[in-house]
């Protein structure tokens, strides 16, 4: 069984510790957990790890957030991974900071990365793990907020949530989305 785990974010040192890059942060944590390095490949930084007879192809698209769909489609095709074995890991301003929500499908919610994926795959039916980053911004300042760095208070909330997100990814690949949602979509 092979899975594509795609953490969404933006490349570049200026984006490293921003709210919008939580997908990259979780992808890094998963690769660290599996003791595998990333290497630069076409459209993404890629790491491959084994977990309980499963192969995880972990990617961090290098296409920038707004063109994430191009990388996702490419790696699904190259690795011959069915769409139901795709898991998108992304930030969500509609959820309070630190809230984790696993869903089997959904719209883009105004998220440009999800919009690009839906457009490239031609469907909204793919699993996604949404990580709440809150919506503590004044009207008209959403871009500044999502591209802003975590506050110290937010970091304290998020550090243990990154570990939980790695557990959710492993659970999704072993016991399935339904049971994993029941276990983790509580708070």
Residues 31, 89 contacting (CB under 8 angstroms): no
Distance separating alpha carbons of residues 96 and 101, to the nearest angstrom: 11
What is the edge-to-edge ordering of all strands in the sheet holding 128-132? Answer: 39-41, 44-51, 54-61, 2-7, 86-92, 128-132, 100-103
Distance separating alpha carbons of residues 144 and 130, to the nearest angstrom: 20
Distance separating alpha carbons of residues 160 and 187, to the nearest angstrom: 14
Which tokens go with 72? 């996702």
19, 20, 101, 111: the catalytic one is 20
Per-residue H/E/C for 77-143: HHHCCCHHHEEEEEEECCCCCCCEEEECCCCCCCCHHHHHHHHHHCCCCCCEEEEECCCCCCCCCHH
User: What's phi and psi for 124, nearest 5 deg?
Assistant: -100, 0
Is 20 a catalytic site residue?
yes
Catalytic residues: 20
């Amino acid at each position: 069984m092979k899975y594509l785990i795609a953490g969404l974010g933006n490349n570049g040192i200026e984006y490293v510790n921003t709210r919008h890059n939580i997908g990259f942060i979780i992808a890094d944590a998963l690769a660290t957990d599996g003791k595998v390095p990333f290497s630069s490949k076409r459209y993404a930084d890629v790491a491959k790890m084994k977990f309980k007879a499963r192969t995880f192809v972990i990617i961090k698209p290098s296409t920038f957030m707004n063109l994430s769909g191009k990388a996702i489609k490419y790696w699904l095709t190259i690795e011959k991974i069915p769409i139901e074995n795709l898991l998108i890991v992304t930030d969500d301003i509609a959820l309070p900071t630190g809230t984790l929500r696993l869903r089997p499908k959904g719209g883009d919610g105004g998220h440009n990365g999800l919009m690009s994926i839906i457009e490239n795959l031609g469907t909204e039916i793919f699993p996604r793990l949404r990580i709440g980053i809150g919506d503590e911004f004044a009207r008209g300042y959403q871009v500044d907020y999502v591209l802003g760095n975590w506050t110290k208070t937010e970091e304290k909330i998020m550090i243990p949530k990154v570990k939980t997100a790695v557990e959710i990814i492993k659970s999704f690949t072993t016991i399935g989305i339904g049971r994993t949602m029941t276990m983790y979509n509580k708070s």
